[in-house]
Structure 1
Amino acid sequence: MDAKKLGALRTDLERELKENILPFWMTLAPDKEHGGFAGYISHQNHVDLKANKGIVMHARILWTFSAAYLVYHDPAYLETAARAYEYITGHFTDRESGGVYWELNYRGAPVTMRKQVYALAFTIYAMTEYWHACGEKEALASAVRLFGEIEEHALDRERNGYIEALSREWEPVEDVRLSVKDANERKTMNTHLHILEAYTSLFRVHRDPRLREALDNIIRLFTERFIDRETWHLRLFFDDDWNLRSDFISFGHDIECSWLLDEAAGVLGNRELEEECGRIAVQMARVNFRGLDHEHGLIYEFFPGENRADTDRHWWPQAEAMVGYFNAYQRSGDEEFALKAIGIWEFIKKRMIDRTYGEWVWSVNREGIPATGNEKAGFWKCPYHNGRACMEMMRRIDESLAAGKKKNHLKT
């Protein structure tokens, strides 16, 4: 791959991270009156300090600014991470029953107290990264404790897999949905994907045999249950007995899974599994090209049974596609993947980055019109997807450029 193209891409990404994404969150999001971060910021940057606060947003901010500090060692990034960490430990952590609350009011009092396993996974991911950033021992202890709680309460020991949600006291609940648009099914790909992500991060620093076994197990759940080996798309919703309860395609989740699964197998260190997941990553990335539209943006979903597509381009699938395609390039050496990653970045610059108010828009429709009624910051709109994509791509480009220099040196 042309080194100048990759170098220019890296420069673009670093500028986007340091001059747009991170400053937006540092400037507008902190709730200096009530603590933590504001629960809602509109498309036009109206900050609602009385909006409820979500654990996922706070955990994602914690992860992003911890990761940014590890890259740049800017004290302002660590200060932002510390604000998130202190609010999670002081308000979201359930001191009586364990785990974390899903939702608080703006003053920090619990509103939704059930245990959403997705949220526990993100908190593990964030706490582990914060420990990396500053060595806070209690952060790592919290991550290990949450891992134990997931394994104790959410693992289905009879049929395998993890239950989507439980009550505050870890009892079964009727409605386990992560959001109102999700199917009410007890085993979902999305929650398993972020358990995979969290366990991968934790296993890097906590080489516990029980965690190794759990990570190995969830990798195999993806290779054996969630990935359709005929279509190379993900199966998204299951009941307790692993009966498939959905048939639609989520292009963003497909490509995000491709590189997270590959990464997990590498961290686990099982050579055979690593090679298998590398092949899967390349295959899933190639099939994912079908979701690219006339502007080289990745559409949201496709419903084969209805021959219908949701052609909106949401912010997060673009970020994940950039990383997933470049990972496939690194795995295969096929430059088409690198060119597709660059193409996604060009689309992001054209359509997703908000040149007026900052950050990225929630989505644009097929005509390129942004969804101005959706938030810039909220329960789901956080700096994690786009911030992580910038940092991942910078690191991966550095690796590719270094490998290219080494190869050229050997030739001479």
Structure 2
Amino acid sequence: MQQELKQALHSELFHILHYWMKHTKDEQHGGFYGRLNNASIPDVLAPKGAVLNARILWTFSAAYNLTRDLSCLTMARRAQDYFRNHFLDTAHGGVYWTVDYKGQPLETKKQVYAIAFAIYAYSEYYKVTKEEQARNIAVKLYNSLQQHSYDPQYGGYFEAFTREWKPLADQRLSEKDANEKKTMNTHLHVLEAYTNLYTIWPESTLKKNIHDLLRLFCDKIIDKRSGHLHLFFSEQWQVKGNLVSYGHDIEASWLLLEAATIIQDEELITTCKAMALKMALATQEGLDRDGGLWHEYEPTERNTLPEKHWWPQAEAIVGFLNAWQLQPAGNYLQRASDSWRFIENKLRDRSHGEWFWGVHEDDSIMQEDKAGLWKCPYHSARACMEAVKRL
């Protein structure tokens, strides 16, 4: 099973990378299209998002690091050039949330989540190019978050600000999110970004920031009873709501352990290993009989959102492989294989390439972006790369 899964995901990685190289480049206005539909037809006037562009930069940098395929390096350079010229706010620091199709600033708010992905991407790009400017950009963005977003009183990071880093009434990352000052999702990706930055800039204060984020997850964000993550919080870390996100549970399970391992904190490594297994076990509550992972669960109403999105399936591959490495006698390797089979059978677009956004309860395809503000190569390609390395 191991070799079969490794070979399948190695092959899938190249299919995904080829899709983005072939279909997403905006040759008229530069960079990449802001949106493609299910048939891979671009909306040439669509806004271009910082998250999408940072994730393209990270994906092709990481892919080059793994494969040494020069076409990946060419894509990474294209992504870096566009991001530097159009998304970095040279006047106030941070990055714009979106630019228009011509590359002019559109939504200029400072969403910490997006800035975290820029740090994550530039750190990866530095690994493959050793361009000092790339590391300087990553460090500068990190300093902006520490200066403006860090909460010295209660710990953690606030969600969003105006372009000038002033308070923002609506701090939501997306329309479906609760409008709270602190969220699990942003903290998870700040942790991910800081961890990657530490691999190229092992600075002592950054190490403490990573340690503090891991303690926040262990002490405030993970429900120690259930193994699920709390998602939304007040400024003082009061839990708001009880929604369960299975995809985030399994994604966090391996990212937390990775962070503890990279900063070489033995106490946190031990804690995060136990947490990873508990969270992987909790995630299994959201598995359907076909191997797919349901999106969300609302415990009070006992209501499962009857959709299976692409990214939780990708994270399930990595999270279950991580759990298998920690506990080989368990059923986690089979769970990872089942996740891939679900993707292969239900989400892979055999006509146009890449993965669909998701399927409904009856397995009908969701009519959402094939590429867009949120639909990026990051989860799918990363799952393939992690599987190749772990297997």
TM-score when normalising by structure 2: 0.99
Structure 2 Cα separation of the partners of residues 123 and 392 of structure 1: 20
Displaced runs of 4+ in structure 1, greater than 3 A? none
Q: Does residue 391 of the first structure (1) align with residue 385 of the second (2)?
A: yes
Match of 2:369 in 1: 375
- 1:334 deviates by 2.6
Match of 2:138 among 143, 147, 153: 143
Structure 1 Cα separation of the partners of residues 40 and 337 of structure 2: 29
Q: Which amino acid aligns with 1:52?
A: P
Q: 2:8 aligns to what SS in structure 1?
A: helix
Match of 2:6 among 3, 7, 10: 10
Match of 1:333 among 328, 332, 340: 328
Match of 2:265 among 270, 279, 282: 270
Structure-to-structure mapping, 1:237-386, within 5 angstroms: 237-371=232-366, 373-386=367-380
Q: Which amino acid aligns with 2:389?
A: R
Structure 1 Cα separation of the partners of residues 241 and 122 of structure 2: 33
Q: 1:364 aligns to what SS in structure 2?
A: strand
Question: Once the two structures are superposed, what CA deviation does each residue of 1:309-340 show, in whole Å capped at 9, x if it has no partner?
Answer: 11211000000001000101111223411111
Q: Which amino acid aligns with 1:12?
A: A
- 1:53 deviates by 0.2
Structure-to-structure mapping, 1:57-136, within 5 angstroms: 57-136=52-131
Q: Which amino acid aligns with 1:379?
A: L
Q: Which amino acid aligns with 2:370?
A: K
Q: Does residue 34 of the first structure (1) align with residue 29 of the second (2)?
A: yes
Structure 1 Cα separation of the partners of residues 341 and 330 of structure 2: 17
Q: Does residue 236 of the first structure (1) align with residue 231 of the second (2)?
A: yes
- 1:133 deviates by 1.2
Q: 2:38 aligns to what SS in structure 1?
A: coil
Question: Once the two structures are superposed, what CA deviation does each residue of 1:80-116 show, in whole Å capped at 9, x if it has no partner?
Answer: 1111100110010001001110000001110111110
Match of 1:401 in 2: none
Structure 1 Cα separation of the partners of residues 376 and 159 of structure 2: 22
Structure 2 Cα separation of the partners of residues 17 and 293 of structure 1: 25
Q: Does residue 196 of the first structure (1) align with residue 191 of the second (2)?
A: yes
Match of 1:410 in 2: none
Structure 2 Cα separation of the partners of residues 293 and 278 of structure 1: 25
Question: Once the two structures are superposed, what CA deviation does each residue of 1:116-147 show, in whole Å capped at 9, x if it has no partner?
Answer: 00001000000000011111111111111111
Question: Once the two structures are superposed, what CA deviation does each residue of 1:48-96 show, in whole Å capped at 9, x if it has no partner?
Answer: 1111000000000000000110111111111111111001100100010
Structure 1 Cα separation of the partners of residues 322 and 51 of structure 2: 26
Structure 1 Cα separation of the partners of residues 151 and 142 of structure 2: 15
Q: Which amino acid aligns with 1:7?
A: Q
Q: What are structure 1's unaligned runs of at least 5 residues?
A: 398-412
Structure 1 Cα separation of the partners of residues 329 and 80 of structure 2: 41
Identity across the alignment (%):
45
Q: Which amino acid aligns with 2:378?
A: Y
Q: Which amino acid aligns with 1:157?
A: P
- 1:260 deviates by 0.3
Q: Which moved more, 1:282-291 or 1:381-390?
A: 282-291
Structure 1 Cα separation of the partners of residues 111 and 30 of structure 2: 23
Match of 2:200 among 200, 205, 213: 205
Structure 2 Cα separation of the partners of residues 334 and 314 of structure 1: 29
Q: 2:370 aligns to what SS in structure 1?
A: coil
Q: 1:71 aligns to what SS in structure 2?
A: helix
Match of 1:50 in 2: 45
Question: Once the two structures are superposed, what CA deviation does each residue of 1:175-218 show, in whole Å capped at 9, x if it has no partner?
Answer: 00111111100100000000010011111121101101100000
Structure 1 Cα separation of the partners of residues 329 and 65 of structure 2: 31
Structure-to-structure mapping, 1:179-190, within 5 angstroms: 179-190=174-185
Structure 2 Cα separation of the partners of residues 168 and 375 of structure 1: 27
For the aligned residues, what is the CA RMSD?
0.7
Structure 2 Cα separation of the partners of residues 310 and 396 of structure 1: 31
Question: Once the two structures are superposed, what CA deviation does each residue of 1:242-299 show, in whole Å capped at 9, x if it has no partner?
Answer: 1111211000000000000010110111101101101100111011111001211000
Match of 2:150 in 1: 155
Question: Once the two structures are superposed, what CA deviation does each residue of 1:339-371 show, in whole Å capped at 9, x if it has no partner?
Answer: 111111111111011111110000101221111
Match of 1:409 in 2: none
Q: 1:253 aligns to what SS in structure 2?
A: helix
Question: Once the two structures are superposed, what CA deviation does each residue of 1:148-198 show, in whole Å capped at 9, x if it has no partner?
Answer: 110110001111110000111111110001111111001000000000100
Aligned positions, number:
391
Match of 1:400 in 2: none
Structure 1 Cα separation of the partners of residues 199 and 69 of structure 2: 24
Q: 1:313 aligns to what SS in structure 2?
A: strand
